Amino acid sequence: MIRQLAFDLPNAEAMTRADFFAAPSNALALQAVDGWRDWPGRKLLLVGPEGSGKTHLAQVWAASADAVILSVEALTETVLEGLSGRAVVVEDVDRIGAGEAALFHLHNMATGTGALLMTARTPPRDWGLTLPDLISRMQSTAIAHLEAPDDVLLSAVLVKLFADRQVVVPPNLISYLITRMPRSIGAARALVATLDARALALGRPITRALAAEVLGDA
């Protein structure tokens, strides 16, 4: 069989408010983010497992609040100098490591004229924090939880991911996939990428039969 060349080109994944699917697993977190002007102390922590939609929700808020988005590794005292009065997103703060002092100062800036949204996989008590002032700030921070995606959300995410790649799939494929894949948005993203690459390489459409081969059900 002649195989087509498949190029690993980036696919733009839409992360706007319109692309965020509300479901029981994320409804309370979405409500909290939408009401950001009323956050106690002008700060909120989003907590949820890998692939639960924290990054998408953080980007929704960043667009609404004109916020700067930082990875926790990029959070330094030098970076803080340019963030006064700004809304800021810091992702993966449960991996704060040596940046505790910088995160503490960012909390203080948020209570002034800024605002702070953080994301983490676990609550602050599990981070191993050592700076007492930061521990105190985190204890006073409101927390919104996201759960692992349910069938409704996972189905919507799969449809969106295929659409982002401009791929049309048969309706029965989605229900087939969600009963056989890990329960996370990250797993959905990886599966769609694998199916797309396999289909391009073989010159075949993405069907249930192709999915069975990829998932090892054939």
As a whole number of angstroms, the distance between CA 95 and CA 81 comes to: 22
pLDDT in tens, 73-83: 988 888 888 88
In a domain, 114, yes or no: yes
DSSP label at residue 147: P
CATH number for 107: 3.40.50.300
In a domain, 92, yes or no: yes
- The answer on 165 and 209 residing in a single domain is yes
- The answer on 29 and 121 residing in a single domain is yes
- The answer on 25 and 103 residing in a single domain is yes
Expressed as residue numbers, the domain containing 211 is: 151-215
With cut-offs at 50, 70 and 90, classify the pLDDT of residue 1: very low
pLDDT score of 11:
47
Residue position matching structure tokens 């839409």: 14
Beta bridge partner(s), residue 143: 45
The single-letter code of the amino acid at 57 is L
| Dihedral-angle region of residue 152 (phi above 0 means left; psi in -120 to 50 means alpha; beta otherwise) | alpha
- The answer on 166 and 132 residing in a single domain is no
As a whole number of angstroms, the distance between CA 14 and CA 44 comes to: 23
pLDDT in tens, 71-120: 999 888 888 888 888 899 999 999 998 899 999 999 988 876 689 999 99
pLDDT in tens, 24-66: 888 999 999 999 999 999 999 999 988 788 998 999 999 999 9
- The answer on 203 and 170 residing in a single domain is yes
- The answer on 190 and 165 residing in a single domain is yes
- The answer on 167 and 124 residing in a single domain is no
Picking from 96, 158, 101, 151, the residue whose alpha carbon sits closest to that of residue 124 is 96
- The answer on 111 and 181 residing in a single domain is no
In a domain, 11, yes or no: no
Q: Which of 145, 170, 191 is where one domain is finished?
A: 145
In a domain, 8, yes or no: no
pLDDT score of 10:
44
pLDDT score of 13:
54
pLDDT in tens, 129-162: 999 999 999 999 999 999 888 888 889 889 989 9
In a domain, 122, yes or no: yes
pLDDT higher than 90, residue 20: no
Q: Which of 145, 166, 187 is where one domain is finished?
A: 145
Classified as helix, coil or strand, 44 is: strand
Beta bridge partner(s), residue 68: 88
- The answer on 105 and 206 residing in a single domain is no
In a domain, 118, yes or no: yes
As a whole number of angstroms, the distance between CA 104 and CA 118 comes to: 12
- The answer on 75 and 140 residing in a single domain is yes
- The answer on 137 and 87 residing in a single domain is yes
In a domain, 56, yes or no: yes
pLDDT higher than 70, residue 2: no
pLDDT score of 171:
82
pLDDT higher than 80, residue 218: no
- The answer on 34 and 133 residing in a single domain is yes
Q: Which of 145, 166, 193 is where one domain is finished?
A: 145
As a whole number of angstroms, the distance between CA 58 and CA 30 comes to: 10
User: For the chain, what is the domain count?
Assistant: 2
